[in-house]
Structure 1
Amino acid sequence: MARFCLFLAVLGLMALGGWLYAREWAPDRGAFPTQGVSVSSDNGSIDWGTLAAQGADFAYIRASRGGRLRDPAFEANWAGARAAGLRYGAALDFSLCARASEQATGFMTMVPRDNAALPPVIRLAFEPGCRARPGQDAVLSELNTLINLIESHAGTPVLLNVSDDFDAQYAIASGINRTLWLDRNFVAPDREKRKWVMWTANDMRHIDGIDGPVRWDVMAR
């Protein structure tokens, strides 16, 4: 029994050590010199000066989700990132439960025209609470409409931040010719299989300036 308890204690310490390591981990700057965060109102109040001092080079800031949610922290985060000297860009969380025109209107209402901003991002992931699963043709059609409207507003091509399960169901990478941003904790996606320019390397990172976990992203060279 004593040995079994000792074994469990060792396992617990190993798990704790792994968790502590994971929450601090970021890719090597030699391989990925430009690194930053994705934020929204879910992250609470952000100390942008501290965040910049901790090594964030850029921030992608959620402007809206679906057709109705305008992120209440967008304006403060947009201004805070600019004031701290970070590069900044706006993101929209796509919803299968809202029309493309409604989602574009929500985004364009929130995001000012800004030639200094990074290209806008459309995040494609299954939304909690939305059970709609249209066919591939319908999704690609709606997504193309959304892309055209946002690109017309921003004056630059969008990035598509595609989750693995969303891409597996709708084949976004092969159906729409846009630059990709992929998610893969701790292990970089294979660029030979799918070309990408952005990678969410750790979606559980803890860093000074933000309470709780934050998505830590890197740009490809």
Structure 2
Amino acid sequence: MGRWTGLAARLVNPLALGSLAFGLSACALFDFGPPGPDDYPVKGIDVSYYQEDINWRSVVADNTAFAWLKATEGGDWYDPKFDANWYGAAMAGLPRGAYHFWYFCRPAMEQVSWFLQHVPYDPYALPPVLDIEWVNSKTCPGHPPREVIISEVRIWLDAIERYYGKRPIIYTSISFYNDRLRGAFPGYFIWIASYKGHPIVRDPSLRWNFWQHTEAGRVSGIRGRVDRNVFNGSVREWQAFLQGRLRPES
């Protein structure tokens, strides 16, 4: 994954600041497994109304560097806690962004319009995120073919980038990525959900930038469980990401 493949390369070559190479061979060289979530210095969460009222100052104090907030789903559902989370996280000084959950039975431009209606333009916000994964839905059964998904998703990504001025991040599972997205969107940051192990173990060829490693995490300021994530890079790279100076591998 070039510079984005993470910590193991630094263990192999601590002077490497440009191209990083993370592979199982690096782990085998030192006879240890891949890094765990605690080995990544930049940690964050993603939330929705399921987390109810959040004390964002406590979240920040608990070593949380970023948060993505569910905003919309499809073309007709809006998270009732989005506004409180959007402004609450900002007031606490936490970098935050919004995410949209993709609905396969809505045209892309309907989903674009719905997102634009509910997510304010904020030049200081994190890039918008598109959450796309397989779901069992009675109202939208079936699995669209790769070419249809890629065409529709590209419409959403392009329109959102034009409006907000930031290239969106793609959140997905390893299975969906391999089934429908692999190779389709070079130049985009990829956020992978993998609860059963480090992404490099499950798919050594996978290119990823964020890792959602659990849906049952605990963070101060949130009463129940919460999704926890890590950024695949150093603190310095995270600052470059926040400033828009970091680019994913094409």
**Do both share a fold (TM > 0.5)?**
yes
Smaller-chain TM-score bracket: 0.7 to 0.9
Aligned to 2:167: 157
Q: Secondary structure at the match of 2:100?
A: strand
Q: Deviations over 1:17-64 (max 9, x none)?
A: xxxxxxxxx822xx3111111001121111111111222111101110
Q: Where in structure 2 are the equivalents of 1:192-211 lying within 5 Å?
A: 193-211=205-223
2:184 to 163, 175, 181: 175
Runs of 4+ with deviation above 3 angstroms: none
Aligned to 1:16: none
Once the 2 structures are TM-superposed, how far is the Cα of residue 126 of structure 1 from its aligned partner?
1.9
Which structure 2 segments of 5+ residues have no match? Answer: 1-35, 234-250
2:155 to 125, 145, 158: 145
Q: Deviations over 1:58-98 (max 9, x none)?
A: 11011101111111111110011111111111111111121
Question: Paired residues, what number?
Answer: 193
After superposing the two structures, state which structure 1 stretch, 187-196 or 137-146, moved more. 187-196
Once the 2 structures are TM-superposed, how far is the Cα of residue 168 of structure 1 from its aligned partner?
3.2
Q: Where in structure 2 are the equivalents of 1:1-221 lying within 5 Å?
A: 27-28=37-38, 31-129=39-137, 130-170=140-180, 172-177=181-186, 178-185=188-195, 187-190=197-200, 193-221=205-233
Which structure 1 segments of 5+ residues have no match? Answer: 1-25
After superposing the two structures, state which structure 1 stretch, 202-211 or 96-105, moved more. 202-211
Question: Aligned-residue CA RMSD in angstroms?
Answer: 1.7
Rate the CA distance shift 1:128–1:212 in 2: closer, same or farther, 3 A: farther
Percent identity of equivalent pairs: 30
Q: Secondary structure at the match of 1:108?
A: helix
* TM-score normalised per structure 1: 0.82
For residues 183 and 83 of structure 1, the distance between their equivalents in structure 2, rounded to whole angstroms, comes to 28
Q: Does structure 2 conserve the Cα–Cα contact (< 8 Å) formed by 1:95 and 1:127?
A: no
Q: Which amino acid aligns with 1:81?
A: A
State which structure, 1 or 2, has the greater radius of gyration over its C-alpha atoms. 1
